[in-house]
């Protein structure tokens, strides 16, 4: 399509809030994930629609051509916060544009709608950005809080000798998670942990969730009081689980990085954790040293 024709087509695209899971065009949304080779599943879209808000940009002929999601997080009691003030946060994710529609302003339009949604609710906007997304979000004033790398290990032949990691309790994971983030995402983690194939695993001073994904099982969040403890739990999971595995790890975790390499993981892509500070709104104060893997860029 010629550029002027395409621009006219972009002008006709409508960005709308999808009303609910019932009747939502889940297959079209999931096609955006497939086109970008991301790892989310239809269950992830259902969770965003149930617990948050999904915006879709639609063209009369091409259907859904872009998406964005907002997931509000619950505040911890103010008494639990070091500052005495509870931070109110929403996570923005799933900013996806169909490849043939990129570079024409649709990503900016759909992201603007998500950001306005967060700001109308008086929340702090946070997200994990790919390099292409980072450029876009910087232009809205977002700042980088830290950097992460996604690591992947392809499926291997199971040898059946390794003992599996111990089964952990969700309550322990939730307590560590709230301390690490400075907000409460129990609803999200409970939803992820109840899916078929999900497992909470634990080792000394470390706990993590493993769940199914589109192209690989995702290991995260992983919370631990030491880099070594986290690396031991990672090694246990990697020896035991022969599936393809993905994990998103903060860049300053040397034991984790050594163990990832030894276990056959390779870096796949970087992410930047970003937030938009706004007057009168507190950024959450957590203990980020506890975080050895995030739940995924879509879930914090």
Ligand X SMILES: CC(C)(COP(=O)(O)OP(=O)(O)OC[C@H]1O[C@@H](n2cnc3c(N)ncnc32)[C@H](O)[C@@H]1OP(=O)(O)O)[C@@H](O)C(=O)NCCC(=O)NCCS
Identified binder of ligand X from the candidate list 102, 156, 199, 214, rule CB under 6 A: 102
> Is the Cβ of residue 15 or residue 136 nearer to ligand X in the bound state?
136
Contact call for residue 129 and ligand X (CB under 6 A): yes
As a whole number of angstroms, the distance between CA 46 and CA 22 comes to 9
Q: How far is the CB of 78 from ligand X (least distance, A)?
A: 31
Does 209 sit near ligand X (CB under 6 A)? no
Pairing of strands 266-276, 143-153: antiparallel
Six token digits for residue 236: 């246990």
Does residue number 270 form part of the binding site for ligand X (CB under 6 A)?
A: no
Q: How far is the CB of 264 from ligand X (least distance, A)?
A: 26
Place of tokens 């990691």: 165
Contact, 286 vs 182, CB < 8 A? yes
Residue with tokens 């992460």: 148
> Of the listed pieces 128-136, 158-166, 173-181, 214-222, which binds ligand X according to CB under 6 A?
128-136
Q: Which is nearer to ligand X, 129 or 170 (CB)?
A: 129
Closest CA to 293 of 244, 256, 240: 256
3-state SS assignment for residue 25: coil
Residues 6+ apart with CB under 8 A from 69: 48, 52, 53, 54, 55, 92, 93, 94, 114, 298
- Take residue 102 and report the two structure tokens written for it: 């990129």
HSE-up (13 A, CA, CB side) for residue 44: 23
Interface segment toward ligand X; rule CB under 6 A; list 72-80, 106-114, 235-243, 280-288: 106-114
Interaction of residue 296 with ligand X, rule CB under 6 A: no
Select the span of 76-84, 90-98, 219-227, 278-286 touching ligand X (CB under 6 A).
90-98
Least separation, in Å, of the C-beta of 115 and ligand X? 13
Q: With respect to ligand X, which residue has the nearer C-beta, 241 or 298?
A: 298
Of the ranges 103-111, 142-150, 187-195, 219-227, which one interacts with ligand X (CB under 6 A)? Answer: 103-111
* Comparison of 108 and 205: residue with beta carbon closer to ligand X: 108
By rule CB under 6 A, what count of residues binds ligand X? 18
Of 91-99, 155-163, 215-223, 252-260: span binding ligand X (CB under 6 A): 91-99
In whole angstroms, give the CA distance from residue 251 to residue 231.
Answer: 14
174: number of Cβ within 10 Å:
19
CB nearer ligand X, residue 93 or residue 259:
93
Q: Pick one of 15, 46, 136, 175: the residue that binds ligand X (CB under 6 A).
A: 136
**Binding of ligand X by 103 (CB under 6 A):** yes
CA 71 to CA 300: how far, in whole Å? 10
Cβ within 8 Å of residue 168, ≥6 positions away: 200, 201, 202, 207, 208
Q: By the criterion CB under 6 A, which residues form the site for ligand X? A: 36, 95-97, 102-108, 129-130, 132-133, 135-136, 139
């Amino acid at each position: 399509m010629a550029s002027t024709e395409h621009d006219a087509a972009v002008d006709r695209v409508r960005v709308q809030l999808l009303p609910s899971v019932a009747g939502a065009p889940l297959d079209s949304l999931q096609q955006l994930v497939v086109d970008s080779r991301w790892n989310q599943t239809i269950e992830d879209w259902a969770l965003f629609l149930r617990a948050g808000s999904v915006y879709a940009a639609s063209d009369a002929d091409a259907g859904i051509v872009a998406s964005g999601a907002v997931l509000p997080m619950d505040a911890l009691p103010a008494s639990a916060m070091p500052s005495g003030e509870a931070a109110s946060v929403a996570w923005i994710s799933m900013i996806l544009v169909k490849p043939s529609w990129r570079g024409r302003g649709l990503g900016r339009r759909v992201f603007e709608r998500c950001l306005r949604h967060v700001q109308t609710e008086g929340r702090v906007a946070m997200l994990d950005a790919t390099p292409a997304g980072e450029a876009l979000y910087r232009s809205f004033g977002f700042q980088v809080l830290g950097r992460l790398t996604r690591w992947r290990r392809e499926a291997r032949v199971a040898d059946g000798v390794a003992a599996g990691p111990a089964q952990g309790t969700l309550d322990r994971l939730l307590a560590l998670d709230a301390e690490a983030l400075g907000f409460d995402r129990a609803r999200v983690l409970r939803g992820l942990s109840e899916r078929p194939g999900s497992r909470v695993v634990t080792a000394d001073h470390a706990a993590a969730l493993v769940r199914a994904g589109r192209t690989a099982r995702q290991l995260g969040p992983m919370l631990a009081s030491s880099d070594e403890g986290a690396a031991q739990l990672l090694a246990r999971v990697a020896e035991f689980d022969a599936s393809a595995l993905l994990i998103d790890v903060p860049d300053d975790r040397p034991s984790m990085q050594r163990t990832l390499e030894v276990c056959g993981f390779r870096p796949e892509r970087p992410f930047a954790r970003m937030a938009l500070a706004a007057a009168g709104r507190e950024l959450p104060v957590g203990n980020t040293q506890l975080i050895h893997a995030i739940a995924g860029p879509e879930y914090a």
